[in-house]
Structure 1
Amino acid sequence: MTHFDDRLSAVLETGVARALEESFELITVGDLLRYVPSRYVSQGSGLGSTDPYEGDHVTVVGRVDKCELFPRRGKRGISVLEVTIDCDGQHVKATFFNGARVKHAIKKDQRVMFSGTVKYWRSKWSLSHPRYLVLDDDESDLISRGDASAGPRRGVGQAMDAAVRALPFLPVYPAAAGIESWDILWCTRRVLEDLDPVEDPLPDVVRAQEALSPLDHALRAVHFPASKDDAEAARHRLRFDEAAAVQLVLATRRQSAAARPAPACPPRRDGLAAAFDDDLPFELTDGQRTVAEEIGTDLSAPHPMNRLLQGEVGSGKTIVALRAMLQVLDAGYQCALLAPTEVLATQHHRSITAQLGALATAGELGAPEHATRVVLLTGSMSTAARRAALLAVVSGDAGIVIGTHALIQESVSFFDLGMVVVDEQHRFGVEQRDMLRAKARGDISPHLLVMTATPIPRTIAMTTLGDLDTSTLRELPRGRSPIATSVVPARSHPRWVERAWARITEEVAAGRQAYVVCSRIGEDEDTPPPRRAKKSSRRSASDEGEDENENAPTTAAALDVFEALRSGPLSGVRVGLLHGRLPADEKDAVMTAFDHGEIDVLVCTTVVEVGVDVPNATTMVVMDADRFGVSQLHQLRGRVGRGGHPGLCILVTDVGPHSPSLNRLQAVAGTTDGFELALLDLRQRREGNVLGADQSGTRSNLRLLSVLDHLDIIVAAREFAQRVVAEDPGLTRHPGLAGMMRSAWDATRVDFLDKA
C-alpha cells in the first residue's frame, strides 16, 4: 500500500520521480496529489476565454479538423505538417517540422491532446512542434504518443487503458517541457490505486461548519471527479487547506511574538516627542493622528508591537514613524531604521535630522534638554566614519540609528534597542528583521514597525502579513499637488519624445527640476534577462530555432541617455547622473546637489524609487516604462509633485499598439489610486506568482486559492487558525495540522511570504 507521506521515488520509477521533482518540486505522494488539474476536458470542451502568453507551456484537447503536409521552404526533402484541431468551435493550429515522421500517427477526425509551447504570429497563437496523445476509442488499449524532438521518455508508463479514455472529465495538468499532462495523469492514477485512506487533519466540526469534503475523498475527486459539482467540492476543500496552512504559520508566528517581553514605552507629556510636536510647522492629517494613536497604544504595552504601516506615496508615513521613535526614546531606549538602499538611508538621515532640528544636536553646546543624536551607518562608509558611528551606537549616544543591511552585521551592538522600523518591508525577509531585533538586551524583543508605500490589498495582507496588525494612510497631506501621467509610444510617435525633452526644458526655465529614469545602468553591466514575451510578439512559428534575443528591442541605459541628453536636447541645462554603482560619497554628493537645486535634470536608475523627496522636482520621464511593474511606476512618479507645483510623469515605451504592456501603462496613467493599481498589478501578474517562485527560487503551494477571489475562505481559515493556535500554541494536540503546515510552508517559503 501507498501512504500519503511516502516519497515518490519509493512508489514510481526513479526517472519519473526525478522528473516530477525537477519540474514541479513534487517529492512525496501528498505533493503529487495536491498538484491538481488546471481544468477538465470533456467531449465538446472549449479552450476558455483567455488567450495564453507567448512562451507558455499549454495542453489542449480537440478533434483534428485539418492535417496537411507541405514542403518546408528552403529545406529540400523536409516537410512541415500543419494540424488544426477543433476544440468545440475554437481552433488551434500546431506545426510539426518533421512532418513525414508524424503524419502516420495524426489523422483527420481523431481526438487528440497536444502539449507544447505557445507562439504568436499576427495576433494568432499556435503550438510549435508539440508532443501529442491520440485519444481515440479504438480497439487497442494503447494510446499513441509522440515527440519527434524529445529524448527518452524517462520511464513514464507507455499505456493507459480504455477506462481513462472514457473518463467523463479528463484532467489536464499544468505541464512542463520535461513531463506532460498525460504523464502526471498516469502517475496520479497509479498512486491513487494503491493509496491508503488519508487521515483528515481537520476536526469534524470545522468540516461541517465550512461544508468541506473529507480529505481522502477530495484528493481523489479533484483528479477524477464524477461530476462538475464533485470537482468543485474537492477544490473547495483543498483551497481551505491551502489557506489554513498559511494562516497556521502566521498565527503561530504571531503567538510566539506576543509571548515575548518588550519595553513598555508610554507617552510622556514633557519629553522629546512632545517637544517635536510643539515645533511641527504643519498639522497632521486625520489619518496620521489616528495611526499615531494606534502605534502609541501598542508601544505602551509590555509585549512587542508588530505593525504594518502602509500608505500612498507621499502620505506621510515617515513623520508618523519618527513620532513613534521619539516616544521610544522618551522611555530611554534606542531605535533603528532599516532601509533597503544607501540612497534611501542617506535621505532618511538627512530628512529626519532636518525635521528634528535642534532636537538632533545632543552633545553639542546649547542643545535642548531632551535632544538626541541621529547616526547613519552604511556598508560603504570610511573606516573612521564607521568607527565613530559604531561607538555612538554601542554607547547609547545615538538615539536613532539609520542604516542599510550594515545594521545587521555582527559588529553592530546597540546600547539598549527598543524599536525597529523597516522601510519598504518587502525588500527584507523575516530572518533579516529578526537578526536586527535580536540585538536588543537579554530577552527583550523590540517593537517592530514595517512600512511600505506599495499598497497591499486586504487579502494579500491577510495571506502574507497576517502576523502583523495593519494601519493604513490614504489621505495625502495638504499641499501635495496632483500628478498627471502620459504614455508616449515612441515607435509610432517619435516626435512626442522630442516634446518630452522640450517640456523638461520649459520646467527648468520656470525654476523647476526633473528626473529621467532608466531601467539599467549600461556600459559593462550584465545584460538583463529578457522579459517574458507576451502575445504581441510577431515571431512566426517557422522561426523555431532562431536566437530568441536576436531581434529583442534595445533599452535605454542611464550612461547613454546621460551623454545623449547633455550633448543634445538638454545641452542648455545642468544634467546629473545617479546610479547604484557610484561610490557612496558620489551618490550622496549628487543627491545633495539635486536637492539644493544645483542639478536641473537627474538621469538615474530606480535608486530614486522610494524615499527621495525633492519638492522642486515636477517632471519625470521614465524610459522603457514597459520594463517596470505597475507598483514600481506608481512609486517612481511619486517623486514629483511633492511641492506646490503640479507633477507630470511621462512613460516612454517602444512596445507595439496592441501589446498588453501598453494597456498596462495606460492603466497606470488612468489613476493615481495606489490600491486600485495594486489590484491591477496582482491581476496582470496572474496572482500565482505573488506567493510563488519568481523571486524566491521556490514554488508556491497556493495552487487553488486565489488571494483575489477567495476572501471568504481566507477569513474563515484565519479565524480557525487563530482559534487553534490560541488553544494549542505548539499544535501538539493537532499533529495533523502541524504536518500540513510544515509540508505546505517550509522555512524558506515562510520567509518569502514577507517579500512577495
Structure 2
Amino acid sequence: MPGLSLASRLDGAIGGKTAAAFDRAFGVKTVGELLEHYPRRYARRGELTPISTLPLGEPVTIVAEVVSASERRMQNRRGSLLEVVISDGDGRLSLTFFNQPWRLKDLTPGRRGIFSGKVGEYRRQTQLTNPDYELFDDIAEARAEAEVSAKRPIPIYPATATVPSPLVQKTISLVLDSLGDIDDPLPADLRARRGLLPARAALEQIHRPENDDDIPPAVATLRMQEAFVLQTALLQQRQFVRALSATKRPAHPGGLLERFDRILPFELTPDQQSVGAQIQSDMVGDWPMNRLVQGEVGSGKTLVALRAMLQVAESGGQSALIAPTEVLAAQHLRSIARMLGPELAPELMPTLLTGQLPAAERRKAALRVASGQARIVVGTHALLSSTTTFADLGFV
C-alpha cells in the first residue's frame, strides 16, 4: 500500500471524525497542512510548569506531579467525583473527573505527566475539568528507557479545548509513520551549502526530536523551505506580470506633475526624489508596475503616491487610493485636496467613494468616477466592488 503524501486528505489518513475536529480547530484539511502545525515550544520530563502563571479560560498543556487523588460520591446528583491535585513544587492545581473512578490506579502520588485542558476556577482554586493526560514511565520500572526519555523534548502544540496538545502530538506521529516519500523543495546544492536537512528529516526532527540538538537544524531547514517557496512564487508572479502589457503613462514638460512640484512649499527630499524617479520610469515601462513604498510616519509616502497619480492624470488616466477605513479614506482625501491647492484640485476633482456615503452623494461620486471627471478617487474596499466603474483606471 503506498504511503501518504503531503497532498493526501486528512480524513483519509486519520478518520473523518478526528479530521473534522482538526479542520474546525485549525483549518487543516491535508496531511501537509497538519505537518505544518509546528510545536510552539518543548517541555522536558524532568521539569515542572509554573502553575501560578496559567491563564484562566485558556487551553494549556503542562508538566506536573501528582500530589494526591481521592474519590467521593456527589451530593446533588448520581455518580462519583475524582479529585486529583497536581503541583509544580510551589503552586497547586486541581483536576476533576466525573464518574471515572478507574483513574485512581494511574494517578498515584509521585507520578509525573503531561496534563492538558482548559483552565477554570472553582471556589477561588484553579482547576482542569476532565483533562487529557499522559503519564511518564516509572523510572524504577524502566530505568534505561527513562534515561533516554528524560532527554527527549516533548512538543507542545497550539491547541484548543477540543483538540489538546497530546492529541495533536499523537495524530502527527501517526501520520508521520504512514508518510511516504516527499519531494524536497530545496535544491540539493543549496542544502549542502547551508548545512540543511532533507525535507523528511526536518519534519521528523521538528515533531519527534530525540534531543535538544535536533531542533535548531529542523527549524532552520523549514524556515529556508518557506522562504524559498515564497520567493519562487513571487518570481513566477513577476514573470507573469511582465508577460502582460501596460499603457504607458509619461509625464510631459509643463504638465500636471511639473505644475504640482512648482507649488510645493518645500523641496523634495533625496529619498522622495529617488523613489519618485523610479516610479516615473516604471510608468513608461512595457509591463504593469508593482511597487511597495516603505517609510516611517511623516516620511512623505502620500506625497510620493500623489505625484504618481498626477503623472497618470496627465494622459487622462484615473488613480484609486484604497484605505482600510472610512475615517482614513476621508483624511487622505482632505490631505490630497490640500496639497493640490485651489488651482489643481478643481481640475483633478479628487472624489471620495465609500459604502457609507448617503445614496445621493454616492450616486454623484460614482457618476464622476464612471465619466472620468474624477481623476483621483479615494475610498475603502468599496472601490473594488463590481458596481464601481472607472473610465480609465491606470494606477491603484
What is the identity, as a one-letter code, of the residue corresponding to 2:93?
A: K
Residue of structure 2 equivalent to 1:173: 156
Q: In terms of mean alpha carbon deviation, does 22-31 or 325-334 score higher?
A: 22-31
3-state DSSP of counterpart to 1:418: strand
Distance change >3 Å, CA 304–CA 127, structure 1 → 2: farther
- Quick one: distance in 2 between partners of 1:188 and 1:405? 40
**AA in 1 matched with 2:349:** R
Residue 6, structure 1, aligned to residue 8, structure 2: yes
SS across alignment from 1:410: coil
Question: 1:10 corresponds to which letter in structure 2?
Answer: G
Write out aligned runs for 1:193-232 (5 A): 193-232=177-216
| Alignment of 1:298 onto 2:282 | yes
Secondary structure at 2:65 match in 1: strand
Which of 230, 235, 260 pairs up with 1:246?
Answer: 230
Cα 1:346–1:16, aligned 2, differ >3 Å: closer, same or farther?
Answer: closer
Structure 2, unaligned runs of 5 or more: none
Q: Secondary structure at the match of 2:14?
A: coil
Q: Counterpart of 1:115?
A: 116
Q: Is the 8 A contact 1:81 1:103 kept in 2?
A: no
Number of the residue aligned with 2:47: 45
| RMSD over aligned Cα atoms | 3.9
Q: Quick one: which of 11, 17, 32 aligns to 2:19?
A: 17
Higher relative contact order (CA 8 A, sep 6+): 1
Measure the CA separation in 2 of the matches of 1:341 and 1:20: 34
TM-score, normalisation: structure 1: 0.45
- Cα deviation code 1:131-167 (max 9, x no counterpart): 22232349999xxxxxxxxxxxxxxxxxxxx989964
Partner residue, 2:380: 404
SS in 2 for 1:229: helix
Counterpart-to-counterpart distance in 1, 2:305 and 2:59 = 46
CA distance in 2, matches of 1:197, 1:164: 32
C-alpha distance 268-24 of structure 1, shift in aligned 2 (>3 A): same
Please report the TM-score for the alignment, with normalisation by the length of structure 2: 0.80
Q: Does 1:93 align with 2:77?
A: no
- AA in 2 matched with 1:291: V
Question: What do the CA deviations read for 1:473-532 (whole angstroms, capped 9, x no partner)?
Answer: xxxxxxxxxxxxxxxxxxxxxxxxxxxxxxxxxxxxxxxxxxxxxxxxxxxxxxxxxxxx
Which runs of 5 or more residues in structure 1 are unaligned?
142-161, 363-370, 421-756
Question: Which amino acid counterpart does residue 93 of structure 1 have in structure 2?
Answer: L
User: Paired residue for 1:372?
Assistant: 348
Aligned ranges for residues 24-173 of structure 1 at < 5 Å? 24-47=26-49, 51=53, 53-64=55-66, 66-67=67-68, 81-86=83-88, 93-96=93-96, 101=101, 103-118=104-119, 126-129=126-129, 130-137=131-138, 167=149, 168-169=151-152, 171-173=154-156
Q: Could you tell me which residue of structure 1 aligns to residue 167 of structure 2?
A: 183
Provide the rounded CA distance (Å) in 2 between the counterparts of 1:255 and 1:113. 50
Aligned equivalent of 2:320, options 336, 342, 360: 336
State the AA in 2 paired with 1:33: L
2:94–2:125 contact (8 Å) kept in structure 1? no
Distance in 2 between residues matched to 1:31 and 1:46, nearest whole Å: 31
Identify the structure with the greater helix proportion: 2
Cα distance, 1:91–1:361 mapped onto 2, change above 3 Å: closer
Cα distance between partner residues in 2 of 1:49 and 1:286: 56
Task: State the AA in 2 paired with 1:173.
Answer: I
How big is the shift at 1:204?
0.8
Residue 369 (structure 2) aligns with: 393
Distance 2:148 2:165 in 1: 17
d(CA) in 1 for partners of 2:368, 2:344: 13
Cα drift, residue 416 of structure 1: 1.9
Q: Distance in 2 between matches of 1:26 and 1:385?
A: 45
| Matched residue count | 387
The one-letter amino acid of 1:60's match is: I
Which one of the candidate residues 324, 336, 341 is aligned to 1:352? 336
Structure 1: distance between partners of 2:237 and 2:361:
38
